[in-house]
Amino acid sequence: MRTIQRLSESEMEIMQAIWQAEPPVTSAYLMEVFVRKGWKSQTMSTFLTRLVDKGLLTVARRGKTNFYTPAMTESGYRQREARQLVEELYHGSVLDFLAAFYGGGQLKPQELAQLQAWFEQEAGHD
């Protein structure tokens, strides 16, 4: 699994807009979506370049316009982020992660049942 740099809050907002759009998208389209931010076109261009460099977007140039397409789905990104978190902070131990996440707090019966069903389903994939 290739490590992907974490996204800043603004980068994540841009990616969410791209994931929700019909790809490919242009920076002009994104400028319209984010008009409320008051960003200059150079700011958007910098964000898009970073997202390409981080491996989240691919870019194709047609004439004078760049067209950006997601290199992975939103769920794929979130999955990789979760795996990286477990690897970096919990030495790959999902059990240690879950113990830290719940910190001894009580799980609701419905949450416990959902976790149990998920673990049983995953155990069946071996």
Model-level pTM?
0.77
In sequence order, what are the residues at sequence separation of 6 or more whose Cβ sits closer than 8 angstroms to the Cβ of residue 94? 86
pLDDT at 30: 96
* Residues carrying CATH 1.10.10.10, the chain: 1-92
* pLDDT cut 70: percent of the chain above it: 94
d(CA 95, CA 115): 12
CB 70 within 8 A of CB 56: yes
Averaged pLDDT, 36-56: 95
d(CA 87, CA 11): 23
- What would be the CATH architecture of the domain defined by 1-92? Orthogonal Bundle (1.10)
CB 14 within 8 A of CB 57: no
CB 76 within 8 A of CB 69: no
Averaged pLDDT, 4-26: 93
CA distances from 113 to 118, 119, 120 (A): 9, 10, 10
